[in-house]
């Protein structure tokens, strides 16, 4: 006789009997994680030059790649606004760039509905390049060669960090879909 | 990976009429969002102070968390220092070295002050009182992802901080206050490319402007062009021109000579600074200039290009060289 399989009623997100997804987690985790990513300037790091990757933006495109359709197309407006409040960029640059990035990914999705992570990574690298260059252009400071040179290490760091961010978003996605005990 | 789920966006247009409408609405909203962003961007580029209130409010909300983080930064470092001291007496050496560095800067400042004093006494017979700092605050964060260089400090209107006030550390000038919230303020660091400070060599009266280069160093531009007298290793202190910064505060150390000045290293690296002092604006005339930015802007509009680095006649202690606060 077969032993009773204790895991028969489980999947990757936990037991299924009497449990369900929590709407707060399902819809809250992506927004909250991107907003926390936008709070990078409040890390106790006083940088002499732009060094840290733009985490809010990276989390946004990572969520968009991992779960298409989870974030509405207009998500760039509120999330960009939140990013602008802290990033030091003039207000509006985040709104504009976040919205354009979401539209660009939408276009990419239409052109390549089936992709591997490699293509996602290349797309993310391209988006990051455009985002950092545009952010430097729109920063309101007179543009010098030094400024463009300074963003190169930041860009390389961001591109290298993207797979890690994507993996983190994968983990957050598991948290998002975790089944919780149903009350009542 | 990245299977387009059945969510209505992406892929081909769905056959369902309602879904198609939803898709269209999505694009419409996203496009409107981008346009809103562009409009706001234009407004804030033309009027940098436009959304200061919104930003200050946001900073106030997050400041407590940032402060804890900053305290953590200091705390962990102290712990590490203690451990290092336990393992090797060399840590004491490091501390002494730091003190010597401070002392060296202080010496340069003192010399500059002496000169300043002598000159003032000679010219004006003016007894100058000590400037008393308005507030002591922690540096709690900086815009480490943006091309602009701002920092946040943990003191605001509650503590008497006002826009325009200079911020300094024991090692030298850090920047000046740009926007003030209730308990946190935004500081324009010296290394920001929009920051400009009138400086002079600590040992004599070679005057220059120190501009930020946004890569952590400053660019010194001599006001009197001619033979470049700067040598690597020269310490530059604030000259007091413009009225914002009290004269004699250490700013930078020249490291590389250029055609019209030098590239200089910042003396008070904000990354190594925990606590900063906010000082009152040195001359009240400067306050008047700050409180009437409209006026300055109107003047700048009338004479475009006049307001920027402009080789202003150096010896006149006129108020002006500082451009209105940008962001």
CA B225 – CA B260 distance, rounded (Å) = 7
pLDDT digits (tens, 9 = 90+) for B105-122: 888 888 888 887 776 666
Kind and range of the H or E element at B167? strand B166-169
Quick one: which of B139, B185, B219 has its CA closest to B327?
B185
- Is B228 an interface residue toward A (CB < 8 Å)? no
Mutate to test the interface with A, among B3, B50, B145 (most CBs of A within 10 A): B145
Establish if B38 touches chain A: CB-CB under 8 angstroms: yes
Give the count of beta carbons closer than 10 Å to the beta carbon of residue B176.
25
B133-170 pLDDT, tens digit per residue, is: 888 888 888 888 888 888 888 888 998 998 889 998 87
Chain A contact present for B78, CB below 8 A: no
- Of A97-101, B58-62, B76-80, B135-139, the range with the highest mean pLDDT is A97-101
Q: What is the pLDDT of residues B224-244, one digit of tens each?
A: 877 888 888 888 988 888 788
pTM assigned to the model: 0.74
Tell me how far apart the alpha carbons of residues B255 and B258 are, in angstroms, rounded to a whole number.
Answer: 10
Side-chain half-sphere exposure of B73, counting CA atoms within 13 A: 20
For tokens 């269209």, the residue is: B24
The reply to whether residue B37 touches residue A52, judged by beta carbons under 8 angstroms, is no
Q: Which of B141, B148, B266 is closest, CB to CB, to A43?
A: B141
Residue with tokens 């003047």: B299
Please answer yes or no on whether A44 and B70 come within 8 Å at the CB atom: yes
The mean per-residue pLDDT over the stretch B97-101 comes to 88
* Mean pLDDT calculated for residue range B292-307: 50
- Residue B4 pLDDT: 46
Chain B nearest-CA distance from A87, in A, is 6
Q: Report how far apart, in Å, the C-alpha atoms of A171 and of each of A13, A29, A39, A100, B85 are.
A: 11, 11, 20, 26, 40
Q: How many angstroms separate the CA atoms of A104 and A124, rounded?
A: 11
* pLDDT higher than 60, residue B132: yes
Mind listing the domains of chain B with CATH numbers? 97-284 (2.40.10.340)
Quick one: average pLDDT of A36-60? 85
A41 chain-B contacts, CB cut-off 8 A? 141-146, 152
Q: ipTM score of the complex?
A: 0.78
Residues 6-35 of A with CB under 8 A from B: none
Flag the least confident range among A138-152, A167-181, B293-307. B293-307
pLDDT in the model for residue A184? 57
């Amino acid at each position: 006789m077969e032993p009773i399989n204790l895991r028969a009623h489980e999947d990757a997100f936990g037991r299924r009997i009497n449990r369900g997804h929590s709407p707060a987690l399902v819809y809250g985790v992506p927004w909250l994680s991107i907003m926390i990513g936008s709070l990078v300037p409040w890390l106790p790091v006083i940088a002499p030059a732009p060094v840290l990757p733009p985490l809010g933006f990276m989390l946004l495109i990572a969520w968009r790649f991992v779960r298409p359709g989870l974030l509405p197309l207009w998500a760039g407006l509120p999330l960009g606004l939140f990013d602008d409040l802290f990033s030091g960029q003039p207000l509006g640059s985040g709104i504009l760039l976040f919205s354009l990035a979401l539209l660009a990914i939408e276009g990419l999705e239409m052109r390549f509905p089936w992709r591997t992570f490699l293509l996602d990574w290349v797309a993310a690298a391209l988006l990051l390049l455009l985002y950092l260059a545009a952010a430097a252009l729109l920063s309101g400071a007179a543009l010098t060669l030094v400024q463009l040179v300074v963003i190169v290490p930041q860009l390389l760091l961001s591109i290298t960090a993207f797979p890690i961010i994507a993996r983190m978003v994968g983990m957050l996605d598991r948290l998002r879909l975790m089944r919780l005990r149903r009350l009542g | 990976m990245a299977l387009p789920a059945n969510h209505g966006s992406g892929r081909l247009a769905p056959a369902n009429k309602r879904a198609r409408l939803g898709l269209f609405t999505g694009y419409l909203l996203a496009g409107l969002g981008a346009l809103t962003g562009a409009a706001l961007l234009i407004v804030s580029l033309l009027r940098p102070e436009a959304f200061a209130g919104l930003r200050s409010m946001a900073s106030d909300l997050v400041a407590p968390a940032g402060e804890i983080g900053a305290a953590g930064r200091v705390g962990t470092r102290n712990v590490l220092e203690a451990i290092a001291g336990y393992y090797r007496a060399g840590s004491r050496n490091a501390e002494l070295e730091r003190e010597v560095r401070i002392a060296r800067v202080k010496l340069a400042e003192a010399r500059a002050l002496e000169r300043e004093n002598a000159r003032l006494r000679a010219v004006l017979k003016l007894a100058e009182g000590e400037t008393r700092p308005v507030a002591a605050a922690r540096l709690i964060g900086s815009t480490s992802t943006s091309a602009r260089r701002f920092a946040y400090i943990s003191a605001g209107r509650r503590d008497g901080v006002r826009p325009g006030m200079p911020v300094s550390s024991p090692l030298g000038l850090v920047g000046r206050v740009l926007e003030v919230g209730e308990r946190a303020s935004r500081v324009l660091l010296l290394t920001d490319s929009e920051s400009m400070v009138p400086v002079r060599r600590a040992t004599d009266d070679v005057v220059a402007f120190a501009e930020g280069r946004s890569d952590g160093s400053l660019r010194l531009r001599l006001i009197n062009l001619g033979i470049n007298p700067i040598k690597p290793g020269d310490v530059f202190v604030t000259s007091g021109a413009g009225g914002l910064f009290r004269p004699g505060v250490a700013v930078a150390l020249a490291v590389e000579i250029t055609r019209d000045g030098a590239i200089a290293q910042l003396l008070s690296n904000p990354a190594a600074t925990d606590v900063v002092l906010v000082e009152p604006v040195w001359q009240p005339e400067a306050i008047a200039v700050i409180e009437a930015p409209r006026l300055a802007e109107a003047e700048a509009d009338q004479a475009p290009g006049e307001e920027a680095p402009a080789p202003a006649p150096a010896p006149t202690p006129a108020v002006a060289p500082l451009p209105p606060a940008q962001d």
